[in-house]
Amino acid sequence: MNFRAVRAIYLFEMARTWRTLLQSIVSPVVSTSLYFVVFGAAIGSRITEIQGVSYGTFIVPGLVMLSVLTQSIANASFGIYFPKFVGTIYEILSAPVSYFEIVIGYVGAAATKSIILGLIILATAALFVPLHIQHPWWMLSFLVLTAVTFSLFGFIIGIWADGFEKLQMIPMLVVTPLTFLGGSFYSIDMLPPA
């Protein structure tokens, strides 16, 4: 295993995040805060409590996971697609680096960015509602597993896509609707049995 190559790819992708801090970190945090305000105000006034938890507190995990899912896919797919689009991918492919090492570098960076973003959004949510995390280790485990899994999925999308439209097609048409139907913003008991 060529750890220098993995580290170089990882650090390059992380440096891209810090160069584009406004769109990489600030924009998703503001967007999620708007979700929180809109869902909390509009629906929270009608649904005060779900299974003994206030509605504002209930939607926090859903908002964190929505951000982690979308950012994991976006970071990984754009991270591998853009070098393919520009043509710099040939430099990586001609280097003495295995495909496994390339995947570890890109997916590791995308997952790290998503985890950092999820923790920032969790801290931001604590400004809106009082939070009490019952099982912090399970929370971190699910956060890491979700970030890695969807970063791998985003990496596959980035390899498959041959245009910027395809980068957005699966996340917008599949992942986001499934998130809204998954019981993140309301109790799953409110849905019909089918």
- pLDDT > 70 fraction of the chain, expressed in percent and rounded: 90
Assign 3-class secondary structure to 132-193: CCCCHHHHHHHHHHHHHHHHHHHHHHHHHCCCHHHHHHHHHHHHHHHHHHCCCCCCHHHCCC
Domain count, the chain: 1
- On whether residue 186 sits in a domain, the answer given is no
Sign of CA dihedral 44, 45, 51, 53: positive
Question: What are the pLDDT digits (tens) for 47-94?
Answer: 677 777 777 777 788 888 888 888 899 888 888 888 888 888 888 888
Answer whether 0.85 is exceeded by the pTM. no
- On whether residue 188 sits in a domain, the answer given is no
Residue 50 CA to residue 62 CA, distance in Å, equals: 14
**Is pLDDT of 34 > 90?**
no
Residue 148 CA to residue 76 CA, distance in Å, equals: 10
Tell me the residue range of the domain where 43 lies. 3-181
- On whether residue 167 sits in a domain, the answer given is yes
- On whether residue 70 sits in a domain, the answer given is yes
Q: What is the rounded average pLDDT for all residues in the chain?
A: 82
- On whether residue 187 sits in a domain, the answer given is no
Q: Which helix (H) or strand (E) holds 127?
A: helix 99-128
DSSP-based three-state secondary structure for 19? helix
- On whether residue 190 sits in a domain, the answer given is no
- On whether residue 189 sits in a domain, the answer given is no
Residue 160 CA to residue 173 CA, distance in Å, equals: 16
- On whether residue 193 sits in a domain, the answer given is no
Question: What are the pLDDT digits (tens) for 115-173?
Answer: 999 999 888 888 877 888 888 899 999 999 999 999 999 999 988 888 777 778 887 78
Q: How far is CA 123 from the centre of its chain?
A: 16
Question: What are the pLDDT digits (tens) for 1-23?
Answer: 888 888 888 898 888 888 887 77
**Is pLDDT of 28 > 90?**
no
- pLDDT > 90 fraction of the chain, expressed in percent and rounded: 18
